Amino acid sequence: MLSSAHLLPTSVRLAPSWICRSSRSFMDLKALLSSLNDFASLSFAESWDNVGLLVEPSPPHTVNTLFLTNDLTEEVMEEALQKKADLILSYHPPIFRAMKHITWKTWKERLVIRALENRVAIYSPHTAYDAAPQGVNNWLAKGLGTCSTRPIHPSRAPNYPTEGAHRLEFSVNHTQDLDKVMSAVKGIGDVSVTSFAARCDDEEQTRISLNCTQKALMQVLAFLSQNRQLYQKTEILSLEKPLLLDTGMGRLCTLDESVSLATMIERVKGYLKLSHLRLALGVGKTLESPVKVVALCAGSGGSVLQGVEADLYLTGEMSHHDVLDAASKGINVILCEHSNTERGFLSDLQQMLGVHLENKINIILSETDRDPLHVV
């Protein structure tokens, strides 16, 4: 005789969301890097910075999971490996100064070793994301309230609008000399030539305009110096790379309506989810003093904010003497610790990259990444 069976209730444990693999496709690392550069060009980065692909497993390398962190520490690396990351986007570059050897002695060397052993690529955008129109500083400005913003130090395009960095213009009086001049300058490399009719002192002339590199400019000038009878009225212009719209370091923010410093403090604390921040009152200022113009820079803002006229400086950290200098000018200073002014951007970045990459890969945020300093 068979005994009756009883179904016992069992608890069901759901796997963490990062374990669940979706039907999203993989992306080749090179294609993904190209898409990331389309999102925010690495050309926006400061010249001293170390941005881009820092660690690359042997190709081909495909990416299913992109892992976002502000700082790549050993604890964060362990989390990334547990979550099967194929590419770590670390806002701060874990490799900055040159490494002379890769051993197990220092934590940054160990990061490289563990990444390569586990076939994990590492990419850092850093100041490229600071400067980008949709980047870190624009995100930080959103916490101030309704305002208009512009870069404190605008970025310039990586290339000149024309060939070369110089423009040389001169006039040729006689038609018979024109062919000789045009033939000579066209024979010099890295020169683009245009000509147009001009009239000077009731005399018909041909005006020659050259866009050229520094090297080509010296060659053209050498030719002209040997043929002084062929030309006159010479002008040399140094061309500038054009400014990029809404792109650059720091932001100068003008609020639609002034608020008290006390109100602004509460806005910043709420936006950055901080219980405390550091405040230096400008000379003659109180918590009730009005704030209309805010100059901000995520991270370390001393060099970017220096000399900027504003009611308030907002940044992560500044040197003691930079704070004293600002306060002496009546400028209030709020310091939130370095990465506290950056890390919250990653949530916005996760959403923006999801759209930009058409949800082709999983994009996850680190849960262990945090500022190393705590108020105790």
Residue-level pLDDT at 120: 98
Using DSSP, state whether 218 is helix, strand or coil: helix
Residue-level pLDDT at 2: 36
According to the annotation, is 338 in a ligand binding site? Answer: yes
DSSP letter at 57 equals: P
Give yes or no for a contact between 207 and 195, defined as CB atoms under 8 angstroms apart.
yes
Q: Nearest-CA neighbor of 76 among 64, 91, 63? A: 91
d(CA 176, CA 146): 65
Classify residue 43 as exposed, middle or buried by CB count within 10 Å of its CB (0-12, 13-18, 19+): middle
Residue-level pLDDT at 162: 66
According to the annotation, is 92 in a ligand binding site? Answer: yes
Low-confidence ranges of the chain (pLDDT < 50): 1-22
Residue-level pLDDT at 362: 98
Kindly state the tokens that stand for 280. Answer: 């230096």
pTM for the full model? 0.81
Q: What are phi and psi of 125, to 5 degrees?
A: -95, -30
Residue-level pLDDT at 24: 61
pLDDT tens digit sequence for 81-123: 999 999 999 999 999 999 999 999 999 999 999 999 999 999 9
- For tokens 């262990």, the residue is 368
Residue-level pLDDT at 195: 86
CA distances, 251 to each of 148, 220, 297, 314 (Å): 10, 43, 7, 10
Kindly state the tokens that stand for 35. Answer: 């898409």
Q: Nearest-CA neighbor of 99 among 58, 47, 49, 54? A: 54
Q: Where are the beta strands (DSSP E) in 104-165?
A: 121-124, 147-156
d(CA 197, CA 234): 15
The H or E element that residue 266 is part of is: helix 261-272
Residue-level pLDDT at 17: 43
d(CA 201, CA 199): 7
According to the annotation, is 166 in a ligand binding site? Answer: no
DSSP letter at 116 equals: H
- For tokens 């006689």, the residue is 174
